[in-house]
Amino acid sequence: MRRDIFQAIADPTRRAIIALIALQSMTPNAIAENFNTTRQAVSKHLRILAECELVKQQYQGREIFYSLEINKMKEIDKWLEQYRKIWDTRFNQLDKVLSTIKKNKK
């Protein structure tokens, strides 16, 4: 089953995993140490992130290291950009309204 990247980042644990491995590659055990959950639960989250290509696996001997796949994160950023423009416009409009109200109170 092909998973959607937005389904993957909808889960707070997976977002936390992304934040952890954004700084450095980590093994599943090292990742699991940061959560109050089982190693198997973390492995399931990692599998979902890997299926969505948000993380990549690198083998070093018997260890697997997970790191962030930056290009997939750029897809998310590109999608969010359209909303950033809307938010910026609305915040600018709100600033104008607040400035007008502040001037009228003087």
* pLDDT of 91: 87
Q: How many CB atoms lie within 10 A of CB 64?
A: 16
Render pLDDT for 29-55 as a digit per residue (tens, 0 to 9): 999 999 999 999 999 999 999 999 999
Domain parsing of the chain, residue ranges: 1-68, 70-106
Question: What kind of fold does domain 1-68 have according to CATH?
Answer: Arc Repressor Mutant, subunit A (1.10.10)
Q: Does the structure show a pLDDT above 80 at 95?
A: yes
CA 32 to chain centroid, in Å, comes to: 17
Q: What is the pLDDT of residue 16?
A: 96
The pLDDT of residue 1 is 57
The pTM of this model reads 0.75
| Contact status, residue 67 vs residue 22, Cβ threshold 8 Å | no
Q: From the centroid of its chain, how far is CA 100?
A: 38
What interhelical angle do 39-51 and 12-23 show, nearest 10? 80
